[in-house]
Amino acid sequence: CCLFLFSLDLLPSKEGEDLTKCFLLRVVNILLHYIEKTFDDKSKILDFHHPHQLLEGLDGFDLELSDHPESLEQLLVDCTDTLKYGVKTGHPRYFNQLSSGLDVIGLAGEWLTATANTNMFTYEIAPVFTVMETVLLKKMCGIIGWRETEADGIFSPGGSISNLYGILVARYKQYPEIKARGMAVLPCIVLFVSEQGHYSIKKAAATLGIGTDNVIEVKCDERGKMIPAELEKNILQAKRKGQTPFCVVATAGSTVFGAFDPLHDIADICETHKLWMHVDAAWGGGLLLSRKHSCRLSGIERADSVTWNPHKLMGVPLQCSALLTREKGLLGACNQMQAEYLFQPDKVYNINFDTGDKTIQCGRHVDVFKLWLMWKAKGTYGFEVQIDRYMELAKYFYKVLKKKDNFKLVFDAEPEFTNVCFWYFPPRLKHIPKSFERDQELQKIAPKIKAQMIVEGTAMLSYQPCGDKVNFFRMVFSNPATRQTDVDYLIDEIQRLGKD
Ligand code: ABU
């Protein structure tokens, strides 16, 4: 139906109805084909090409833009090619990031969101979505354990921005004059985060004019958890040096090790020194939905603010991240500019639902509907079942690796979360005792295996060095499509690709 026809022939063009329907149905067919392939463990996760190959054009897939319109038929080919050369992040053997999986209800939510194509700044133009956001924030604050009527929050474009919001309100709470007068009127303020905390904390400090030198990294124990005594020591040291501590960022589910900082101990220290406690639970927040495992976050209810990304453990399509605050009104006081063209005080409805002025953005994407729809579809218990299954898979993976003498776990203890970190030792390195030279060789193994995996498109998982540990793999479970057989496959695949 689309040959020699162009986008101008679609709605709102007169009599464009049938063509629009035909075009969109064909798009949906392309997407459905991709979705089926995504869940087929025999299909490749990706068809890898180098950036220069994509730029040069592959089999007629031309990324360059022209002055003349392309036909609808060509656009359908472009859609197919875009998916062809992408990564199937919902594939059962995709373990590369903390966000993975493809939830069909979430996807439907994203489609609806794109169709509604509105902006989250006012109730006026997003009546359902702004109210839905308050419902979700209230639910999440309740799960954290805050008295629901007091809590507040906002959905933001990712965990880094949510963490930035946490630090922004922490600073505003202590120094409200910052808003008008800037950093010049403040003492040298410092904040604390564990050495395993997310790099976004330093980014936030740089962005907010605090400076990365004023982010003090607190030592962790061998499992990657912040050591409370070290925190206390660092706070006292900073005070002696004339610095002014104002905030501690605790991590609930660190990116690499999946470590949970001891939140009660950190809360005690924050209370003693009157410091804002922000918990970065971007990754670990979802665990609050598991009655069996939520104890890992015990003490989070004492935090002043929390980052929680439903697009990670809860499997909501990207992006979906919330910043939650215990005190109502702070976000608004900190950020609002009351632009008269948008946030008129004399509107016909309750303007408390014009929530956009609480943010540092103006335009804001609707990230709430897909989460709301998934919550409706699964219920809280449905998320719990899914998350408990990931924890079981992590335990299974750990137990299998423990029995194999060519794998070595970074921590030889049952995983506390779904992260399992490990080295693979090819036969030539297996019996060589640890030494600088052995580690130089071991450092090359994970990147080599990963490169082969990507080129063959069989699986994807990440690796990194950390401190004195040379490159190791990080396995992580957050993909509902993954089964035990995929875990077994991955182990075999590492051995196949990694043998000398
Ligand atoms: N925001 C941290 C994400 C890192 C990861 O997916 O591995």
- Cβ 470 vs Cβ 443: under 8 Å: yes
Q: In a mutational test of the pocket of ligand 1, which residue from 201, 255, 311, 466 has the highest number of ligand atoms less than 8 Å from its CB?
A: 255
**How far apart (Å, rounded) are the C-alpha atoms in residues 89 and 46?**
9
Q: Name which of 138, 37, 133, 55 is nearest 91 in CA terms.
A: 37
Span from the CA of 255 to the centroid of ligand 1 (angstroms): 6
Q: What is the pLDDT of residues 155-192, one digit of tens each?
A: 999 999 999 999 999 999 999 999 999 999 999 999 99
Going by their DSSP bridges, the two strands 305-308 and 276-280 should be labelled as: parallel
pTM attached to this predicted model: 0.97
List of E strands, 331-433: 407-409, 420-424
Ligand 1 atom nearest residue 99's Cα: 6
Give the burial class of 97: count Cβ atoms within 10 A of its Cβ; 0-12 exposed, 13-18 middle, 19 or more buried: middle
Span from the CA of 96 to the centroid of ligand 1 (angstroms): 9
- Cβ 321 vs Cβ 310: under 8 Å: yes
- Cβ 30 vs Cβ 80: under 8 Å: yes
CB environment 267-289: b (16+ within 10 A), e (fewer): bebbeebebbbbbbbbbbbbbbb
| The two structure tokens encoding residue 465 | 């060095």
Closest Cα to atom 7, ligand 1: which residue?
97
Q: What is the pLDDT of residues 423-461, one digit of tens each?
A: 999 999 999 999 999 999 999 999 999 999 999 999 999
Measuring from each residue's beta carbon to the nearest atom of ligand 1, which residues come in under 6 Å? 97-99, 159, 255, 282, 462
Ligand 1 atom nearest residue 474's Cα: 7
Ligand 1 atom nearest residue 159's Cα: 1
Span from the CA of 274 to the centroid of ligand 1 (angstroms): 31
**How far apart (Å, rounded) are the C-alpha atoms in residues 107 and 299?**
34
Q: In a mutational test of the pocket of ligand 1, which residue from 87, 89, 99, 421 has the highest number of ligand atoms less than 8 Å from its CB?
A: 99
Span from the CA of 476 to the centroid of ligand 1 (angstroms): 11
Q: What is the mean pLDDT of residues 390-395?
A: 98
Q: What is the mean pLDDT of residues 403-409?
A: 96
Classify residue 46 by its DSSP letter: B
Span from the CA of 273 to the centroid of ligand 1 (angstroms): 31
Span from the CA of 101 to the centroid of ligand 1 (angstroms): 14
Mean pLDDT across the chain, nearest whole number? 97
pLDDT score recorded for residue 397: 98
Q: What is the mean pLDDT of residues 84-102?
A: 98
Q: How confident is the model at residue 149 (pLDDT cuts 50, 70, 90)?
A: low
| The two structure tokens encoding residue 422 | 């490990």
- Look at residue 48 and give its three-state secondary structure: coil
Q: Name which of 134, 158, 128 is nearest 361 in CA terms.
A: 158
Closest Cα to atom 2, ligand 1: which residue?
255
The residues with which 226 forms a beta bridge, in sequence order, are 220
The alpha carbons of the chain give a radius of gyration, in whole angstroms, of 25
Span from the CA of 205 to the centroid of ligand 1 (angstroms): 19
CA torsion angle for 136, 90, 82, 374 (degrees, to 10)?
Answer: -20
Q: What is the pLDDT of residues 212-255, one digit of tens each?
A: 999 999 999 999 999 999 999 999 999 999 999 999 999 999 99
**How far apart (Å, rounded) are the C-alpha atoms in residues 441 and 260?**
31
**How far apart (Å, rounded) are the C-alpha atoms in residues 402 and 347?**
64
